[in-house]
Amino acid sequence: MFNLFSIMLAFLIVFAPYRYDAGQPQTAQAVWLATAASIAVPSLFGLVCAGMAGRAVARPSRLTASFFKKLRRLLALHHVLILIAFFALCVFFAWPEYVNQSVTHLPALDTLVKILPFLVSLIIAWTVQHAVETRLRLRTWPLQEKLIFQLRHTLVPLIPILFLSGVESLVRPATGSGAEPTSGWQDLVLFGAMLSIFAAFPLLIRALWPVCPMPTGALRSALEVMVAEHGVPLRNVLQWNTGGGHVLNACMIGVLPPLRYILVTDALIRALEPDEVRAVFGHELCHAKRNHVMFYGMFLFSLMLLFTLPIFSDDTVIGSVQVLTGLALWLLLFGVISRRFERECDLFGARAAGSFSAFIRALQKIAPPSASLSRLHSFLHFSIPRRVEFLVHVHADAAEEERFARKISWIRSGIFALFAASVTLAVLLGES
């Protein structure tokens, strides 16, 4: 999911209206040198991380918990550097405007070229991560399989955004001085395109990922009983075929009940006992029951409004700082929100399966085979040991669960307030 949101942030950078005005246009040579640097600098940092892993393997005494913690942070910083470098390319060297002038205006093609430096950096980051995992023997996954797996996931946010960009270029063609103001019917078409993408998003995942309905049997029947007991409407329970069994995971997709699915990987089904699978499935049910995807969308949409609207000034430097501040806030706050929602789902899954021990066993089994650096401690989840510790603590102290429920209530209220404030501000600025 982190790739999904980082790609959305990259598009936010591309479409943000702020550009640094150096007083004269950048030369083509300067733009291409900056493009190469925006890819090379983060990539060199990634190579340093890979070299660090290689040197540690040569001296096993270095493979301590503090080393892994440091390496995880460095790899996370690698992804942040990719976004910062792409931000600098777009804002200070006007990469999107250069593409507009240089690329034939075919629907969505220019948008794809604009995002291309970021995508190249992302592919290099996956390659670096694979090298680190291989050297540390955390996961034996062929590079080709890993890249195909990641690219399939990347297409999930990429295709809808390119589709919307193509629709916009058709209904609102650009002029020499910029985009023409939209008329009512153009806005209606664009809004309809957004709604269609929103509704069809799960169908896109079904088309891109190797999934099929979970085979009929005792396990599927038990999962369907859980769905009925908790009153969470689903379209289907799908088995996510990951090939070599490198991914032990499950996920919920879709906001609208007629197009809502829960996916469980084949590797997870093989690795866990039925009660443990039910606990993991209950975790994903919670995402649907508590409407977490809706809250994530409201939070991201609010930040996009607050940090792309010309609120403080039309000055390009101030506007760029505004967008960069939004990016920093997203990095700081989205992880905090996600990790708390994931904890809420851990509790729900344990109770839905009727056994805290089943969920804890599932977490402990999931950790070793999928112990890539991104899973030991991630942007979206607490580490497995911390998740287990929380469940044990709550199971022993009911008051802790009540305190946590209040925190979740405050987070939801905060997101609602942020959404209302950002929409109100957008309306007021639109009228002024």
Longest dimension (CA), the chain: 70
203 in a structural domain:
no
**Average pLDDT, whole number, for the chain?**
83
Q: What is the mean pLDDT of residues 280-307?
A: 88
Please say whether the beta carbons of 84 and 22 come within 8 A. Answer: no
Cα separation of the two ends of the chain: 37
Q: What is the mean pLDDT of residues 231-235?
A: 91
pLDDT computed for residue 385 by the predictor: 84
In total, how many domains does the chain have? 1
CA distance 312 to 45: 35
CA distance 223 to 239: 12
Which residue did the predictor score with more confidence, 118 or 12?
118
pLDDT digits (tens, 9 = 90+) for 237-261: 999 988 666 688 899 998 888 889 9
Q: Which of 172, 174, 166, 170 is nearest to 197 (CA)?
A: 166
pLDDT computed for residue 199 by the predictor: 78
Residue 371 has pLDDT above 60, yes or no: no
- What is the domain range of residue 315? 2-154+273-431
336 in a structural domain:
yes
45 in a structural domain:
yes
10 in a structural domain:
yes
pLDDT computed for residue 2 by the predictor: 58
Residue 284 has pLDDT above 90, yes or no: yes
24 in a structural domain:
yes
Output b/e per residue, 330-368; b: 16+ Cβ within 10 A: bbebbbebbbbbbbbbbbbbbbbbebbebbbbbbebbbe
pLDDT digits (tens, 9 = 90+) for 103-115: 766 778 888 999 9
Name 323's Cβ contacts closer than 8 Å, sequence gap at least 6: 12, 13, 16, 18, 87, 91, 307, 308
Please say whether the beta carbons of 248 and 265 come within 8 A. Answer: yes
Q: What is the mean pLDDT of residues 333-343?
A: 91
pLDDT > 90 in the chain, percent: 37
Confidence tier at 177 by pLDDT (50, 70, 90): very low
250 in a structural domain:
no
132 in a structural domain:
yes
318 in a structural domain:
yes
CA distance 393 to 150: 35
